A = this chain, B = another copy of it.
Amino acid sequence: MAKKLFIPGPVEVHPDILQAMATPMVGHRMAEYATLHGRVTTGLKKLLATEAKVFLSTSSAFGAMEGAVRNLVAGRCVNFCNGAFSDKWHDVTRRCGKEADAVKVEWGKPITAELVDEALATGKYDSLTLIHNETSTGVMSPLPEIAAVLRKYPDVVSIIDTVSSMSALPIPVDELGIDCCIFGVQKAFALPPGLAVFTASEKALARARTVEGRGYYFDFLEFEASDAKNNTPSTPCISLIYAMDKQLERMFAEGFEQRWARHRALADFVRGWVSDRGYGFFAEEAYRSMTLTCAVNSRGTDLASLKKMLGERGFAFDDGYGKIKGKTFRIPHMGDMQRSDLEEFLAVIDECLAVLG
């Protein structure tokens, strides 16, 4: 029996999307593919509020995240780190042979505008990486305030991952001045994994043109050349692009404002449950994620047993990530999730907690 997923990605996929995955193939050099590709990137540009290029990468998000540092770091990069995935991005940047420093804050804390300003004021960096919504800790850093700081440093290329936030709240890429906005599709977008999306501003593309060793598979200039023909440099994951096409259609039908409002309401609902049950929050109030709540296990619940019990009842539960596993647990409220889904899940958790004590 398939478990219903209440983990922060991959998330549960709507039956209409699953069925879109079963669409018969087209050839990626046929006109039919170019039409599909153009429709999807046009829809994504609306959602992201950008006139920059939007590229489709047949990879997980970390492929595009590695690609971004290969293409956009010419001199020295600063990686802002406040959780497992941003920590890893620093490691990956260095493995690409790039000079990079990590600005690390304690897990659970946000990356603030002040931190960004302080690092960039040194004048040492031509690029930065930042994860908007750290999926490991449920912390959302304040993008609009950070964006205000970025305007002071026009020569710095900003690379920002929004894998677990894009589409759940407004992230207007051009207005925020994000040069390269990256996300995978199996979290806030609620598709099966295997596709990453990234934008490239004119500034980013100009930078890439100066950088050696971009390789081929993630070469931004190859993506740019193929994009002109509504195509990709390598054979794309067509089934997932069908799924993205269907999901964009669904997002337009729901309406962006309504989608954002639904996420706010779901976040409030889950936070209320967490408080009512006597758990804490790993993030400070102002920086709590809109798409997942990371609760502190302040009741000392036996999370391993809870996970097992929930699994037996058909629900996949997440008992924390990395070094905070067991000390925290994470409840996602993203993608196509509805209030009724969370009501069902939280009611079953309540039943289990009654048994566990």
Distance between A86 CB and nearest chain B CB, rounded to angstroms:
14
Distance between A147 CB and nearest chain B CB, rounded to angstroms:
28
A67-95 interface code vs B (CB 8 A; 1 in, 0 out): 00010000000000000000000011001
**Is residue A186 within 8 Å, beta carbon to beta carbon, of the partner chain?**
yes
Our pick among B11, B12, B18 for the contact of A23 (Cβ within 8 Å) is B18
Closest 9 CB pairs of A and B: A194-B237, A60-B234, A18-B22, A21-B21, A60-B235, A92-B216, A2-B24, A192-B239, A193-B235
Inter-chain contact A194/B236, CB cutoff 8 Å: yes
- Oligomeric state, in number of copies? 2
Query: Besides A19-B22, A61-B235, 14 other CB < 8 A contacts?
Result: A7-B30, A9-B235, A10-B238, A12-B25, A25-B186, A58-B193, A60-B234, A63-B234, A91-B216, A96-B215, A193-B235, A194-B237, A194-B240, A239-B240
Which residues of B lie under 8 Å from residue A216 when comparing CB positions? 62, 66, 91-92, 95-96
A338–B97 Cα distance when bound, in Å, is 49
- Measured CB to CB, the nearest residue on chain B to A12 is B25
- Measured CB to CB, the nearest residue on chain B to A237 is B194
Distance between A309 CB and nearest chain B CB, rounded to angstroms:
15
Distance between A268 CB and nearest chain B CB, rounded to angstroms:
26
Interface residue tally for chain A (C-beta within 8 Å)? 57
Known A58-B59, A219-B95; contact A27-B13, beta-carbon cutoff 8 A: no
Inter-chain contact B192/A194, CB cutoff 8 Å: no
Q: Which of A184-238 contact B (CB under 8 A)?
A: 184, 186, 192-195, 212-219, 234-238
Inter-chain contact B24/A18, CB cutoff 8 Å: yes
Which residues of B lie under 8 Å from residue A24 when comparing CB positions? 2, 12-13, 18
Known A58-B58, A97-B213, A217-B66; contact A236-B193, beta-carbon cutoff 8 A: yes
